[in-house]
Amino acid sequence: MYKEQLNLTSLDAPLQLRLEASWVQFHLGISRQGLYSRSSPVVSQLLQDMRRFPTISAGESQAQKRGSLSLLPLTVVKPSGVHLKLVLRFSDFGKAMFKPMRQQRDEETPADFFYFIDFQRHNAEIAAFHLDRILDFRRVPPTVGRLVNVTKEILEVTKNEILQSVFFVSPASNVCFFAKCPYMCKTEYAVCGNPHLLEGSLSAFLPSLNLAPRLSVPNPWIRSYSLAGKEE
């Protein structure tokens, strides 16, 4: 199916799903006590695989899909968030949420900014994973940093026409893209490679709800996304 989608005519054998793949073993190791055990060797392997495996497809997150007018089907989606994120699938068929770098690490948020206007920092996702592991909660999916070639690893592998249409070359000759979503996904909020490489975080996906039904607990400390009101 993968070769057919890319219209490949090579006689090489198609990619095979391996049950020993790190993301499969990560899914099988999830329990009520945590997403992985303290002594699990799978997490280190999963982080390495997400950092080095080539991508075979890319798609917008569910939030960006809802913000667009098109109803093109997406097979890999994330049903939350207001900032630019992409779902990448790797050659071992594992999936990860890619959050691109939007601002420098030493760049501070102006005091007058509301928290929902501020860019979400990719390195905060990485720090959250490591802090969660140090505190022994083990409830944050494995997350790693990676330099992604936005041309070869996103634009050239995606079949999503909406995503293809938002790529452009900036006046500085860098390859950029933005996303279509209700809030901060406009051309002025585009992210750009240098000229093709873009730093970002990759967070491993959990099993689908069809395979692993689970209870979703609302955040009791959720905050309002309104300039006027506050959440109860």
Binding residues for ATP: 99, 203-206
User: In this structure, how many other beta carbons lie within 10 angstroms of the beta carbon of residue 5?
Assistant: 11
Q: What is the largest CA-CA distance in the chain?
A: 61
Distances, alpha carbon 128 to alpha carbons 34, 185, 203, 213, in Å: 15, 24, 11, 25
What residues have CB less than 8 Å from 86, skipping those under 6 apart? 58, 59, 60, 61, 97, 98, 100, 154, 163, 179
Instruction: Please answer whether residues 202 and 98 qualify as being in contact, where contact means their C-beta atoms are separated by less than 8 angstroms.
Output: yes
Q: Looking up tokens 């095979």, which residue turns up?
A: 16
Annotated binding-site members: 99, 203-206
Tell me the sheet residues that pair with 31. 34
3-state secondary structure (DSSP) of residue 174: coil
Distances (CA, A) of 44 to 126, 140, 143, 219: 14, 14, 10, 29
